[in-house]
Amino acid sequence: MSVVIQKSVKILHTIQALNTQLAQPRKEGLKIGLVPTMGALHQGHISLVKAAKKQVDIVLVSIFVNPTQFNNPEDLKAYPRTIEEDTALLLEAGVDIVFAPEAEEMYPLAPMLKFDFGYLESILEGAFRPGHFNGVGVVVSKLFNITKPDFAFFGQKDLQQVAIIRKMVEDLSFQLELVIVPTVREEDGLALSSRNRRLSMEDRAKAILLSQQLRVARVELLAGRSWFDIQIEVTHKFDQCSGVRLEYFELVKTNSLEIASEANIEQVDLKNYSLCTAAFVGDVRLIDNLPI
């Protein structure tokens, strides 16, 4: 079933309808680009669409709030769902196809398959969101199999998710190319996120602490200061901010996410590293990262 928004833009809700719509472009050898999202779209998502439009013939955006990647039922319940706003934004951006399935379409039966991403599941986001990356692996692999894109576009803001998906693509031999698009930020530095709309005005002002401290830490690192001294000072800054609770602030290898430690800090080549952080601002959990 599909609803025509414009001659060149369709919203499709079933896998069968999507396959029908993509049959001719595939036959013609047109390049298909997938932008997977969970909706509540913002200009960060649109930057992915713009990147896709430069490289492919057909831009396909999926909108699906994936229940299997939420370890907290309340977080799933609170996740914003703004399908009408989203489709209007995508229409303006010139997207060709929107795939917006219901949960029953993606999961007619509860998935039994389990992904094991090794140490990537026990650090950073994996340590605080058990089961999250299994859910990501399942839904993204399903989307890859359903849409069979030539390119898939992801944001650098979810750096650990990018590492997980890159590993999955390599291990399972998906015939596609990953394109990673830089993080888009507000003027004050706050990384764009669907969760930002849940922040109160007071908490929105506090949320810039994440990007602010990432920038401070990068400057200090490039000036030659000890990473562990910087980490202690940053943690103290978060502790001093009422209503903000830091979960982690780490220096990691950008591609492998290996965490800098006493054992390997002497071999650190900063150009291959990124800073990663996560914190609760009020009751909203935000993540951010910054390449060195």
What angle is formed at CA 245 by the lines to CA 243 and CA 246, rounded to 5 degrees? 150
List 99's β-bridge partners, or say none.
Answer: 12, 62
CATH fold of 2-181, please?
Rossmann fold (3.40.50)
Q: Give the pLDDT confidence score for residue 8 in this predicted structure.
A: 54
State yes or no: is 45 an active-site residue. Answer: yes
Tokens of 73: 């039922």
Q: Give the pLDDT confidence score for residue 263 in this predicted structure.
A: 63
Tokens 């908490």 belong to: 203
Q: Give the pLDDT confidence score for residue 3 in this predicted structure.
A: 44
Tokens 């390449």 belong to: 291
Residue 7 pLDDT > 80: no
Residue 265 pLDDT > 80: no
CA 95 to chain centre: 19
Q: Helices H, strands E: what count in the chain?
A: 10, 10
Q: Could you give the 3-state DSSP secondary structure of residue 248?
A: strand
Length of the chain as a residue count: 292
Residue ranges of the domains in the chain? 2-181, 194-291
List 290's β-bridge partners, or say none.
Answer: 275
* Separation CA 286–CA 292 (nearest Å): 20
Q: Could you give the 3-state DSSP secondary structure of residue 75?
A: helix
Closest CA to 257 of 69, 124, 117, 133: 124
Closest CA to 241 of 216, 197, 219, 208: 208
pLDDT band at 75; cut points 50, 70, 90:
confident
**Mean pLDDT on 30-46:** 97
273-281 and 284-291 as β-strands: parallel, antiparallel, unpaired? Answer: antiparallel
Query: DSSP H helical segments within 94-131, as ranges?
Result: 103-106, 125-128
**From the annotation, which residues make up the binding site for (R)-pantoate?**
69, 161
pLDDT band at 73; cut points 50, 70, 90:
confident
Of the residues 13, 45, 132, 236, only one is catalytic, namely: 45
> CB of 210 within 8 A of CB of 183?
no
The Cα-based distances of 108 to 111, 117, 165, 173 in angstroms read 9, 25, 23, 25
**Mean pLDDT on 214-233:** 96
Q: Could you give the 3-state DSSP secondary structure of residue 185?
A: strand
Q: Give the pLDDT confidence score for residue 156 in this predicted structure.
A: 96
pLDDT band at 132; cut points 50, 70, 90:
very high
Q: Give the pLDDT confidence score for residue 9 in this predicted structure.
A: 64
| Within this chain, domains 2-181 and 194-291 share the same CATH topology | no
Q: Give the pLDDT confidence score for residue 2 in this predicted structure.
A: 45
**Mean pLDDT on 48-70:** 96
Q: Could you give the 3-state DSSP secondary structure of residue 213?
A: helix
pLDDT digits (tens, 9 = 90+) for 161-190: 999 999 999 999 999 999 999 999 999 999
Q: Give the pLDDT confidence score for residue 262 in this predicted structure.
A: 72
**From the annotation, which residues make up the binding site?**
38-45, 69, 155-158, 161, 184, 192-195
**From the annotation, which residues make up the binding site for ATP?**
38-45, 155-158, 184, 192-195
**From the annotation, which residues make up the binding site for beta-alanine?**
69
Q: Which CATH superfamily is domain 194-291 in?
A: Pantoate-beta-alanine ligase, C-terminal domain (3.30.1300.10)
